[in-house]
Amino acid sequence: MTANPANRKLIALEEHFVHAPILAEHNEVDRALLAPGRVPGLDEIGDIRLEGMDKAGIRIQVLSHTKPGVHEMEDAQRATGLARDANDYLAEAVATHPDRFAGFATLAPQDPQAAVRELERTVELYGFRGAMLNGHTRGEYLDRQRFWPIFEAAAALDVPLYLHPANPHPAVHEAWFKDYPVLGYAPWGYALETGTHVLRLILSGLFARFPKLQMIIGHMGEMLPFGLWRADGRLTPKYPQLGKSVRDTFLDHFHVTTSGVFSTPELICAADVVGWDRLLFSVDYPFESNQLAVEWFDQLPIADSERAKLAWRNAAQLLKLPAA
């Protein structure tokens, strides 16, 4: 069935901005990749963005700071301060357009206790809907127990954490991608990096420790829906202490967005694995086109009930948003 654009409701969950003081701290490669002239719209969360949303028919964007955020900064205190500044900046935009924007907090995991305080502050003061975690933190993956207070706080606050891709670990990039650097980023490396990070979190016992914790991943599941059967069959017997299979842990704790993957076969694969109740529409704006994403959505050969879940119903329930 084809969507009726006049009745369309869309909430998009992985929609990015960049805060100039954080961008100034990035390395030369990321500064070049994220420069405003290279990614138009990344440095703007106001009228121009709203105009693009209106043109495409997107009702709400849930905004988050693009990768790597503050995760690569050595000075934890400065990273924490910049994360707070970015959250205050985002909160102003959300307060100005509360019916069109919502927010995911920027956190500095370098200091987990400070990150917990910032998550609590932004959820309780600003009504943020969770937080975006931009992959590993200076080469440390978040399965390490020193980071677990962040997950504990999210579970207690009943908000999800969105695990976003990071640049591959430097050792991985050197071994796999140095001869073809472009492979290390969005075309391939981001999915490998994030999918592996998800499996590390599962195998660490994090979700057995915090059974109410909910997480989100993008890009149609970072290749995990296709690979989950094999991973489960090889890993679950080796980790009986988890008390639950790798597959069931993934299905119970992760939601998947369509960000940056506007392909029907991949969507059907993801739906067959995770179910329509855990699929969420997203664009990955401004790295991807609002218009292209919505045109694809409008032509999906799915039932109206599935379309409503994907478009807005699941997001509204997970993030406690008004029903678009």
| Domain definitions of the chain by residue range | 5-319
pLDDT exceeds 60 at position 1: no
Beta strands in 213-278 (DSSP E): 215-217, 254-257
What is the average pLDDT across 147-153? 98
For the record, the structure tokens of 74 come out as: 């050595």
Angle (CA) 104-148-250 rounded to 5° is: 75
Nearest CA to 316 out of 281, 283, 272, 268 is that of: 281
pLDDT band of 207, cuts 50, 70, 90: very high
Mean pLDDT for 153-167 is 97
Coil, helix or strand at residue 82:
helix
d(CA 5, CA 23): 37
Does residue 7 surpass a pLDDT of 70? no
Q: Which pLDDT belongs to residue 299? A: 97
User: In Å, what is the CA distance from 158 to each residue of 62, 101, 123, 217?
Assistant: 17, 20, 10, 17
For residue 157, with 0-12 CB atoms within 10 Å meaning exposed, 13-18 middle and 19 or more buried, which class applies? middle
For residue 5, the model assigns a pLDDT of 59
Residues 236-255: b if buried by 16+ CB within 10 A, e if exposed: beebeebebbbbebbeebbb
Over range 239-248, report the average pLDDT: 96
Q: What is the mean pLDDT of residues 182-186?
A: 92
Q: Is the pLDDT of residue 238 over 60?
A: yes
**Averaged pLDDT, 294-301:** 97
The two structure tokens encoding residue 287:
């790295």
In this predicted model, which residue has the larger pLDDT, 1 or 275? 275
Predicted local distance difference test score (pLDDT) of residue 2: 59
pLDDT in tens, 253-263: 999 999 999 99
Is the per-residue pLDDT at 33 higher than 90?
no
pLDDT at 26: 86
Which pLDDT band holds residue 31 (cuts at 50, 70, 90)?
A: confident
Using pLDDT thresholds of 50, 70 and 90, give the confidence band for residue 323.
low
What Å distances lie between residue 74 and 7, 110, 111, CA to CA? 48, 8, 11
More confident position, 22 or 2:
22
DSSP 267: H
CA 50, CA 100: separation in Å to the nearest integer? 8
How far apart are alpha carbons 286 and 203 in whole angstroms?
33
Residues annotated as part of the active site: 284
Q: CA torsion 70→131→282→16, rounded to 10°?
A: -30
pLDDT in tens, 169-178: 889 999 999 9
Taking CA 194 as the corner, what is the angle to CA 170 and CA 105, rounded to the nearest 5 degrees? 100
* pLDDT mean over 246-275: 98
Q: Which residue has the tokens 């842990």?
A: 249
pTM of the model: 0.96
Mean pLDDT, the chain, whole residue set: 95
Judge contact between 126 and 92, C-beta under 8 A. Answer: no
| Mean pLDDT value across residues 130-142 | 96
Mean pLDDT of 230-237: 97
C-alpha distance from residue 148 to each of 33, 35, 221, 233 (Å): 31, 33, 23, 27
Grade residue 3 by pLDDT with cuts at 50, 70 and 90. low
Sign of the dihedral through C-alpha 214, 285, 58, 123: positive
Instruction: Check residue 177 and give its pLDDT.
Output: 93
What are the φ and ψ backbone dihedral angles of 42, each rounded to 5 degrees? -70, -30
Q: Do 68 and 166 form a contact (C-beta atoms < 8 A)?
A: yes
Express each pLDDT in 79-125 by its tens digit: 999 999 999 999 999 999 999 999 999 999 999 999 999 999 999 99
Segment (H or E) for 256: strand 254-257
Query: Is pLDDT above 60 for 324?
Result: no
Tokens 């430097």 label which residue?
170
User: Is the model's pLDDT at 6 over the cut of 70?
Assistant: no
Q: Give me the mean pLDDT over the 270-296 stretch.
A: 98
Under DSSP, is residue 208 helix (H, G, I), strand (E, B) or coil?
helix
pLDDT value of residue 91 = 98
As a CATH number, domain 5-319 is 3.20.20.140
